[in-house]
């Protein structure tokens, strides 16, 4: 049994308390019929008591998974990772954090579709109540050759898959991002194949590593990271980790991803990290570690081979297609 010190990004209890008081007060107001009063007086309707506004402290703090407490590298400061984002729905540059604050992330409903006994609609709060919410520190490697380390909050995708009870017809899991023309200016760039879609095999989805992320740095997921729920696949290039997921489908056919559809000669379905297979336009041997100015050698499977290499044991590792 390992014991870990509370990591530094955890918010001290004394700073969390006012938020707790606020949440309690909100619950009390809802109980008193505040929503009705507010609507009648034209003040707007109160939020459901269960809502989690992006960026607020995640309370109570979830347990830190001892297997993923330390990513072997320093955690990227939130000021860095939270202001250098890829989220094309809000723009093609890295500075989309302000624009992303318009994302309507709360409340949120997920559609579960396809070959699964539990196909249907579920509210994020209802889903979270069924899932083992925990914290994991993961490395992230973007195909553009930069990397970061983030303490995520979330639950294993495998738990969601098991809960959904897919049938044997389900060979792949497809993820679809919200496409909201009102709040996402990037959607108007009609040459991109919206909505943003990604997918994994059902075997990959059942591996313990894929994480459904709902928080970061001790907080409800800030919007620019893909609030309120995004995927994180730490052994694959970052573009596989779809943000702001609204639809999870259990399908027979291999899903066509956003980047694969846009530029199939450069991006494919597998996109497993491997320093030896270059992108057609740049090397993948090294990575720029965000926030440090350091270059570091890239590691096959982004260093998660112990967990995931077995998934590909029957595949030809010399084929470029497994890596791009
Ligand atoms: N919906 C959506 N998901 C997305 C993207 C995007 O543009 N839209 N970009 C991807 C890419 S290329 C990367 S590297 C990561 C970036 O995640 P971050 O902004 O939290 O670092 O999100 C991925 N998920
Ligand atoms: Mo990326």
Q: Report which secondary-structure segment, H or E, holds 139.
A: strand 134-141
Mean pLDDT of 112-132: 97
242 is in an annotated binding site: yes
Percentage of the chain beyond pLDDT 90 is: 83
**Three-state DSSP string of 164-192:** HCECCCCCEEEEEECCCCCCCHHHHCCCC
Distance CA 310, CA 316 (A): 12
Residue 243 CA to ligand 1 center (angstroms) comes to 6
3-state SS assignment for residue 155: strand
How does 186-201 read in b/e, with b if 16+ C-beta sit within 10 Å? bbeeeebebbbbbbbb
Mean pLDDT of 29-37: 37
**260 pocket-lining for ligand 1 (C-beta < 6 Å):** no
Residue 314 CA to ligand 1 center (angstroms) comes to 29
**298 pocket-lining for ligand 1 (C-beta < 6 Å):** no
Neighbours of 223 (CB within 10 A): 27
Residue 164 CA to ligand 1 center (angstroms) comes to 25
Distance CA 291, CA 95 (A): 15
**196 pocket-lining for ligand 1 (C-beta < 6 Å):** yes
283 is a domain residue: yes
| The two three-digit tokens of residue 323, written as one number | 């890596």
48 is a domain residue: no
Mean pLDDT of 275-304: 97
Distances (CA, A) of 36 to 23, 49, 227, 277, 282: 18, 14, 28, 60, 58
**Of how many residues is the chain composed?**
324
**Three-state DSSP string of 44-111:** CCCCCCCCCCCCCECCCCCCECHHHCCCCCCCCCHHHHCCCCCCHHHCCCCCCHHHHCCCCCCCCEEE
Question: What is the average pLDDT score of the chain?
Answer: 89
Phi, psi for 157 (deg, rounded to 5): -55, -35
Task: Inform me whether the pLDDT recorded for 45 exceeds 80.
Answer: no
Distance CA 145, CA 147 (A): 7
Specify the pLDDT at position 88: 98
The parent domain of residue 164 ranges over 13-37+54-322
Give pLDDT tens digits for 256-277: 999 999 999 999 999 999 999 9
CATH number of the structural domain spanning residue 246: 3.90.420.10
Could you give the number of structural domains in the chain? 1
- Which positions ≥6 away from 265 have C-beta within 8 Å? 280
7 is a domain residue: no
Residue 284 CA to ligand 2 center (angstroms) comes to 13
Mean pLDDT of 52-67: 97
Mean pLDDT of 165-174: 98
117 is a domain residue: yes
191 is a domain residue: yes
185 is a domain residue: yes
6 is a domain residue: no
Indicate which atom in ligand 1 lies nearest the CA of residue 85. 19
Distance CA 250, CA 228 (A): 21
| The two three-digit tokens of residue 213, written as one number | 């992320």
Task: Inform me whether the pLDDT recorded for 10 exceeds 60.
Answer: no
Q: What pTM was estimated for this model as a whole?
A: 0.87
Ion ligand 2 contact residues with beta carbon within 5 A = 86, 142, 238-239
Indicate which atom in ligand 1 lies nearest the CA of residue 259. 12
Residue 239 CA to ligand 2 center (angstroms) comes to 4
Q: Whose CA is nearest to atom 11 of ligand 1?
A: 239
Specify the pLDDT at position 170: 98
Beta partners for residue 287, in sequence order: 296
């Amino acid at each position: 049994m390992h014991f870990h010190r509370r990591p530094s990004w955890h918010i001290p209890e004394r700073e969390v308390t006012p938020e707790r008081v606020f949440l309690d007060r909100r619950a009390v107001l809802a109980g008193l019929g505040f929503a009705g009063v507010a609507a009648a007086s034209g003040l707007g309707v109160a939020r459901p008591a269960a809502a989690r506004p992006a960026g607020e402290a995640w309370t109570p703090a979830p347990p830190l998974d001892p297997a993923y407490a330390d990513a072997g590298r320093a955690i990227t400061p939130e000021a860095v990772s939270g202001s250098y984002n890829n989220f094309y729905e809000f723009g093609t540059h890295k500075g989309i954090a302000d624009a992303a604050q318009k994302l309507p992330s709360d409340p949120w409903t997920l559609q579960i579709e396809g070959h699964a006994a539990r196909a249907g609609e579920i509210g994020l709060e209802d889903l979270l109540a069924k899932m083992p919410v925990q914290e994991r520190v993961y490395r992230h490697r973007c195909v553009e050759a930069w990397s970061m380390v983030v303490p995520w909050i979330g639950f294993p995708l495998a738990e969601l898959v098991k809960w959904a009870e897919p049938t044997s017809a389900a060979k792949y899991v497809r993820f679809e991002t919200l496409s909201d023309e009102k709040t996402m200016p990037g959607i108007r760039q009609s040459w991109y194949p919206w909505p943003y879609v990604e997918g994994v095999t059902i075997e990959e989805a059942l591996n313990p590593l894929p994480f459904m992320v709902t928080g970061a740095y001790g907080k409800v997921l800030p919007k620019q990271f893909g609030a309120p729920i995004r995927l994180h696949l730490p052994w694959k290039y970052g573009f596989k980790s779809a943000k702001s997921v609204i639809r999870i489908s259990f399908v027979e056919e291999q899903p066509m991803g956003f980047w694969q559809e846009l530029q199939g000669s450069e991006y494919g379905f597998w996109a497993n990290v491997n320093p030896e297979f270059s992108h057609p336009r740049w090397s993948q041997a090294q990575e720029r570690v965000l926030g440090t100015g350091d270059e570091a050698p890239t590691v096959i499977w982004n260093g998660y081979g112990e967990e995931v290499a077995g998934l590909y044991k029957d595949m030809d590792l010399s084929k470029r297609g497994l890596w791009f």
